[in-house]
Structure 1
Amino acid sequence: MSLKGKTAVITGSNSGIGLGVARELAKAGADVVLNSFTDRDEDHKLAEDLGAELGVTARYIKADMSKGDECRALIEQAGRCDILVNNAGIQHVAPIDQFPGDKWDAIIAINMNSNFHTMAAALPKMREAGWGRVVNVASAHGLTASPFKAAYVAAKHGVVGMTKTVALETAEEPITCNAICPGYVLTPLVEAQIPDTMKEYDMSREDVVRNVLLARQPSKNFATTEQIGGTAVFLCSDAAAQITGTTISVDGGWTAL
């Protein structure tokens, strides 16, 4: 599954799932472009260290995924974009009648609209190169729903629909477009929530993980960022050349219920 000679742009990739995907693509030989909305020395150092460790070219480009022009500028600044991984996302939880309008707008912009802008900018580059892979990181919530997550569920369902549309538009070309639908993934953000949840429910760590965080994940195990990254590598490989317009669930059986 060598991706040597390919350049991958991964949005929202200075931590968590995005960074995990970037690492696995780089391990497979792809040059990588990391991204987030900050522009700190540590962001650029993260890319520099990743490239040095894995022997690839790695860069960091700041772009705010809530702004369409910056989404498109990210792709242009990357130069090449053989692989596009749309991962950037945020969350807010509230009943729909109490859901703040600005939170709704931000979630739709970052979690869904950004995918439209980056794909629109990347597809011409893929066509020019004669090869391309789009991997949209959706969610189990792109296939099913939970209460109090109206914006997130709407956005991720939209990502799945957009994935199918782009796949059909590129079906006769050497370009594929698929979505990965993770369940709960153990990221630093999730790990940081566990102590407070233990206090809130007066539970042990094991009980919080099993009965609160993973209540809907039948395996009772988190997915890992490495597993999401490995799935992305597979979707970029020749073995997946006829896999397009579909979703791959990495959710411990969540959507089998």
Structure 2
Amino acid sequence: MFFVIPLVNMFLSSFTDSDGFTLNQYKTALLNSYILQGFKNSITLSAVSALVALVVSLFAVYAMMRFTDPVKERILVMINLTSNFSGIPLAFAFIVLLGNSGLFTLLFEKWNLDALASFSLYSWSGLLLIYIYFQLPLSLMLLYPIYYGIQQQWKDAAALLGANTVQFWMKIGIPVMLPGIVGTFSVLFANAMGAYASAYALTGSDYNLAAIRIGTLLSGDIFAQPELASAIAVLLGATMISAMVLSEWSIKKARRNL
């Protein structure tokens, strides 16, 4: 009920204003270029960070599977600890390391590494770096069990038939793992779309994201607009649900083709 009641309240609020029932909140959200830009930025940032984290995690988990069980258990413990390091503490850590006067920034300037020293943490690239960082632990934990679905007998049978390692993964391994990979991407995308604290702590309202627009409208620089914020939140939720439905359709299609 702690989840359902606020959700229903938000949904009903998105259809109201001072005069009662209205669709003006959705009309404003769908026609306002600044709000639409926030959705575009959020979708782009979420998709790119999810894709990068997914690719890195695929290779990282493949490497993990070559370790002994005790080593894998220790790595998983570290991944679980890292997954809890997000939000404002994560943004502060990156500011200390890569901010305008951060440790690494000063070192890059001292070593005359101008290309690295000119990196701006408070830009799209900086946000992408932080998003990838908190996406990686989640991606690793979701992909780790998928590799257990690849049975050693399949590798042996493929080798007996003359397939090398690349052929095995292209013809057997990746197709079998594809439903799990697609599902993991959808979870990462939704996770990034709803992220707020890290982005706000890093850029405030300077970078236009859908989640930040919701927070700004609720707090209000001059006056709050909770009804418009509710409409944007409903559209944000609809975007994430659409991504999950598309992912589910892709998973079912991939399983039928196996």
Give me the TM-score of the superposition, normalised by structure 1.
0.26
If each structure's strand is expressed as a fraction of its own residues, which one has the higher value?
1
If each structure's helix is expressed as a fraction of its own residues, which one has the higher value?
2
Higher relative contact order (CA 8 A, sep 6+): 2
